[in-house]
Amino acid sequence: MKSYGGKTADERRAERRAQLIAAARELFIARGYAGTSIRAVLREAGLQERYFAENFSGMDDLLAAVHDEVDAYFFDSLMRDVDRSDPPAHQRRTILTNYITAIEKHPAWARIKLIETVGVSALVDERRRQTQEKYATAAVAFMPVPRAGSTLDPHILARAFISGMNGIIIDWLTGTLDIDTDQVITHGNALFDGVLEALNARQETS
C-alpha cells in the first residue's frame, strides 16, 4: 500500500478521524452538542471539509463516536484493582467506586455520555441502548441465579439498576443532588442490594 510520510492511507485516515473526534469532544464540552457545527469541528481539528464526509455521515454520527470514546474510558475503569477472590460485596463496591471516581476525574466527559446524547437521533439512541446493555451484562455477572420458580429476569433488573444509577449520576453532575462522592457510591450500592434482595439472594458482608 502506498504511503506518504511513512504512513499508509488507512493510517492517515484513522489519524484524521481521531483529530475530528478529539476536536468535537472539546467543543461539546465548551459549547454543548447543540452549539457545535461541522464547520466548527473542522476548524478546531485543522482539517478540510472533505475529511468530515470521509469519516462521518453527520454530526450525530460524530457524537456517537465521541460517546464511544469517552465511554470506553469509563467502562475500562470498572475492573481496575478488583480482586476476584474478595467477597462479592467488596468487589461490587470497588467496581462502583472505580466508576464514580473516573466520572469525578472527567465530569465533562460524563456529561457528554449521559446528557449531551439524549434525544439527538435514532442513531445516537441506539448507541445509548447498546451501552446500557453492555453495562447491564457486566452487572449480571455479579448477580446470583434467581431462586427456583422466580419469574424475575436478572438482565431486566440489571438494566433497571443501570438506569437508576445513571439518574443519580446525572443529578449529581448537574448539582440537582448536593451529595459527595461517597454518598453517590453508597446509594449505588443500596440500589444493587435491592436488586439482590429481589432475587432472594443471600447478602454478603463487605
pLDDT over threshold 80, residue 22: yes
pLDDT of residue 152: 87
Residues 85 and 182 grouped into a single domain: yes
CATH number at residue 47: 1.10.10.60
pLDDT over threshold 90, residue 127: yes
Residues 50 and 83 grouped into a single domain: no
pLDDT in tens, 88-105: 888 999 999 999 999 999
Q: Coil, strand, or helix at residue 192?
A: helix
Of 17, 39, 56, which residue sits at a domain end? 56
CATH number at residue 189: 1.10.357.10
Question: What is the torsion angle, in degrees rounded to the nearest 10, for the CA atoms of residue 73, residue 93, residue 165 and residue 99?
Answer: -10
pLDDT of residue 18: 97
pLDDT of residue 83: 87
Range of the domain at 93: 64-198
pLDDT of residue 203: 39
φ and ψ at residue 164, rounded to 5 degrees: -65, -40
205 found inside a domain: no
Residues 106 and 162 grouped into a single domain: yes
Residues 136 and 166 grouped into a single domain: yes
Residues 127 and 168 grouped into a single domain: yes
Average pLDDT taken over every residue of the chain: 91
Residues 180 and 104 grouped into a single domain: yes
Question: 4 versus 145: which is more confidently predicted?
Answer: 145
Residues 140 and 183 grouped into a single domain: yes
pLDDT in tens, 149-165: 778 899 999 999 999 99
41 found inside a domain: yes
pLDDT over threshold 70, residue 133: yes
pLDDT of residue 161: 95
Q: Name the one residue in this structure whose C-alpha cell is 473542522.
A: 42
Query: 56, 23 in Cβ contact below 8 A?
Result: no
CA 115 to chain centre: 11
pLDDT in tens, 32-62: 999 999 999 999 999 999 999 999 999 999 9
pLDDT in tens, 162-195: 999 999 999 999 999 999 999 999 999 999 999 8
Residues 68 and 166 grouped into a single domain: yes
204 found inside a domain: no
Residue 164: other Cβ atoms inside 10 A: 16
Residues 48 and 140 grouped into a single domain: no
pLDDT of residue 94: 93
φ and ψ at residue 4, rounded to 5 degrees: -130, 130
191 found inside a domain: yes
Question: 206 versus 121: which is more confidently predicted?
Answer: 121
Residues 52 and 89 grouped into a single domain: no
Of 12, 39, 56, which residue sits at a domain end? 56
pLDDT of residue 204: 44
pLDDT over threshold 80, residue 2: no
Residue 48: other Cβ atoms inside 10 A: 10
Q: Provide the number of structural domains found in the chain.
A: 2
